[in-house]
């Protein structure tokens, strides 16, 4: 009999492809939630019925009460950096392994943060709206000028995984990097040319 896997959300293309391959092998019965919004409690229960494994997201709460309803469950893989939505102690007591995906969004978050910095400094949303509203007539040296990022000073509050990757992107713009962290990693700061300062000084 094929082992059942419950998947609580539609995954990115590579994940869906891997699920297709598992299902095609005949060894696994993959039951997937296809809606855009997460399943409610009843839908989640239907997905987990008879499942040996589950791929979940942070939108699903899994606790001891839920685990007791589904004794076949042996492993939960959380597509998230953390596992705040899962009672790990309750899972451990019941012999259920809990997995997560640490670091999966480090680069993506740093990219987005730097993109927002660039968009703000260079007034990109404002400029786009200006053009869409048909105000643009010709080039001007002062029109929506924005601020220079190259050589500017940037402050990074929290110099952990994401903060360090954000700083790495800032080095490409020859930015002066000030950092604050309760647990400063001086080796990482030295590698990136960052200087640790107090939060007041950074601000």
**Rounded-to-integer distance, Cα 203 and Cα 195, Å:** 14
Checking if the pLDDT of 158 tops 80, the result is yes
3-state secondary structure the chain: CCEEEEECCCCCHHHHHHHHHHHHCCCEEEEECCCCCCCCHHHHHHHHCCCCEEEECCCCCECHHHHHHCCCCCEEEECCCCCCCECHHHHHHCCCEEECCCCCCHHHHHHHHHHHHHHHHCCHHHHHHHHHCCCCCCCCCCCCCCCCCCCCEEEEECCCHHHHHHHHHHHCCCCEEEEECCCCCHHHHHHHCEEECCHHHHC
So what's the pLDDT on residue 177? Answer: 98
C-alpha 167/C-alpha 129 separation (Å) is 30
pLDDT of residue 145: 92
Whether 78 has a pLDDT exceeding 90, the answer reads yes
Average pLDDT, rounded, for the chain: 95
pLDDT above 90: percentage of residues in the chain: 93
Say what the pLDDT of residue 104 is: 86
| pLDDT band at residue 65 using 50, 70 and 90 as cut-offs | very high
Sheet of strand 194-196, all strands in order from the earlier edge strand to the far edge: 153-157, 176-180, 194-196
Q: What is the pLDDT of residue 98?
A: 98
pLDDT digits (tens, 9 = 90+) for 93-131: 999 999 999 988 999 999 999 999 999 999 999 999 999
Q: What distance in Å separates the CA atoms of residue 203 and residue 155, rounded to the nearest whole number?
A: 7
Residue 12 CA neighbour count, 13 Å, CB half:
3
Q: Give the mean pLDDT of 33-47.
A: 93
Question: pLDDT class for 161, splitting at 50, 70, 90?
Answer: very high
User: Is the per-residue pLDDT at 1 higher than 80?
Assistant: no
Q: What is the pLDDT of residue 50?
A: 95
The answer on pLDDT for 21 being more than 90 is yes
The mean per-residue pLDDT over the stretch 49-58 comes to 96
Give the pLDDT band (50/70/90) at residue 52.
very high
Q: Please, what are the domains in the chain?
A: 3-99 (3.40.50.720), 106-202 (3.40.50.720)
pLDDT class of 135 with cuts at 50, 70, 90: very high
């Amino acid at each position: 009999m094929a082992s059942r896997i419950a998947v609580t959300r539609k995954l990115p293309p590579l994940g869906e492809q891997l699920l297709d391959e598992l299902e095609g092998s005949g060894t696994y019965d993959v039951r997937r939630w296809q809606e855009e919004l997460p399943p409610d409690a009843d839908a989640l229960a239907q997905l987990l019925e008879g499942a040996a494994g589950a791929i979940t997201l942070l939108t699903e709460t899994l606790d001891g009460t839920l685990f007791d309803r589904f004794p076949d469950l042996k492993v939960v893989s959380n597509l998230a950096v953390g596992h705040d939505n899962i009672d790990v102690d309750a899972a451990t007591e019941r012999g259920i392994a809990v997995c997560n995906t640490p670091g999966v969004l480090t680069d993506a978050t740093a990219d987005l943060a730097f993109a927002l910095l660039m968009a703000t400094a260079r007034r990109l949303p404002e400029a786009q709206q200006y053009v869409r509203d048909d105000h643009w007539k010709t080039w001007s040296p002062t029109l929506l000028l924005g601020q220079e990022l190259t050589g500017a000073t940037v402050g990074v509050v929290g110099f952990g995984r994401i903060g360090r990757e954000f700083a790495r992107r800032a080095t490409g713009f020859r930015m002066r990097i000030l950092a604050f962290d309760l647990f400063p990693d001086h080796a990482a700061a030295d590698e990136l040319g960052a200087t640790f300062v107090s939060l007041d000084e950074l601000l």
